[in-house]
Structure 1
Amino acid sequence: MSMTIGKKTTGEKLFDAFNVAVLSLFAITCIYPFINVLSISFSTPSAANAYGLKLIPKDFTLGAYKAVFENKYIWIGYANTIVRTVAGTFLNVVFTVMCAYPLAKRYLPNRNFFTFLFVFTMFFSGGLIPTYLLIKGMGLLDSRWVLILPGLINAYTMVIVRNYFMSLPEEIEESAKMDGANDFRILFSIVLPVSMPIIATIALWYAVAHWNAWFDALLYISDPDKTVLNTVLRKIVIEGSSQFQSFDTYDPAKTESVTPDIIKSATIMVATTPILLVYPFIQKYFVKGVLVGSLKG
């Protein structure tokens, strides 16, 4: 009697080989642009402008990074982005939890109606111009709070947290109430300690969203000292703004001179490297966040 358990058939092997080939090709198409930008950022102008694939820096130089780090708007953008990410993530998590917890209670009057109002905003919004007029009417233009308050609670994230709270055993809270604990004591002393997986997940979601955000700063912030890193990156790379490109013009006679394209590549690397270094360590939480808190009730 032959043992065939665990052995793959020829069709399964071909299918696996096809999957590996397709996914490898897809990975290469995603990785190559990043490697190309990295290589250009470390290359001299003559090497960067040469034809051919640029996988390894030629005529290695740090001139572009020296120029980038001497640009004060890069550091201003970094500082504003870090402040936004830390403060925004903290407030997002606090208010999301405070909103989701009562909506998870079956005894809350009109609970389904209030939940519907949040879900409704996931599909319909007032539009760009009405939102801008609202922000202006609230006096938030050119304020750092405009980067945090309008998106204080994300509807989708709130629903995920709500459903997670609903999956917790009700007996735990009932026993705490019998001991005289109020809702705030139950939330902070009982519910939150056992909900750290979902709290960590939404904190990472909010943090990555704040770090990558740029459009709201572009719309509502006009003061260069209050703009965020990704807006600075956009103005340098796409708009070529002279206000943010405080770099020396290219001079072939100078060995440390760099072209605008090399400056753009170095700026992209400076702006994206922090989140690229962090993401591999938090990817499992993103995957877990998709599974945890699935729709219920």
Structure 2
Amino acid sequence: MFKKSIPLAAALAASCALLSGPVQAAGYPAQPVRVVVPWPAGGLVDLLARSVADKAQASLGVPMIVENKPGAGGAIGAGEVARAAPDGYTVMLTTSAMNMNAAIRKGLTYDVEKSFVPIAVAAYTSLILVTSPNGPDSVQALIDQARKQPGKLTYASAGVGTPGHFAGEMLKSAQHIDVVHVPYKGGPPAMVDQISGRVDYHFANAVVALPQIKDGKIKALAVASAHRVPQLPDVPTMAEAGVQGFDLDQWLGYLAPAGTPPEVVKTLHDAITAAAQDKSLQASLVKNGMRAAEPMSPDAFKTYLHDDYAKWKSVAKASDIHLD
């Protein structure tokens, strides 16, 4: 009697083992999801992370807990996520700056193309070419001034390797102008010197620039994007201003550690994408100088990330941008 029951018990045990994987995956998520933001609290990435977390909780059924892990141009937070268990309970909201950082920084503890699996793009933000109120009235006037005064004009950035630095070097290269880069420790101090006229121009993040433009403290010449900024309907894109190749939208997107199961990635993708399409969240994004992304599959996001990284590596090499 007992001998005959042993094979049956073994078969049942084997069946349970085979079923356990799918059952556990189907039960995701069973606990809060940690969202690492590799930038300081209070910034635009942090704002988006908390807004999406609030909206996504309804479909996930568990909270998304935002943790800020700033430092080293986002490398500290990214490294922590790369080392996390690929179970869907640790993800990261990062930006184009991650690819820029990887294009110029040596010794990173992760590979931007191999250490993560893309989940979803949530939003975009734009760079705005700005100058002081008494500065040139157009992009072409700025370029003409730079050509007439080689080595005299200065452009600010939030630091070496930041989006504004890359954009500034791209303009130098494309227009063959000789201007001096002045890096700052963040966007706000760069903006202070722009307002005072200590620097001639810079590509400022829309989130930082819009309030100052509205108050008349700086002048907007063009948007480094394929789209005009809704709050500045009369400000042209760089292409409309006569300078091609400046579709430099900064993406904000979610990544998970490499090896995260596809069904878990899909669950996160669906929740985050639905949150990003919420009308009240989109209105908040526009108010803060961002815009919601059109839904993009994880595979499409992977291709987008690859092309984005290749672009910034090319710019870094051509302009000799590096961090030793």
| TM-score (norm: length of structure 1) | 0.28
More strand by share: 2
**Greater helix content:** 1
Whose RCO is larger (CA < 8 A, sep 6+)?
A: 1
TM-score w.r.t. length of structure 2: 0.26
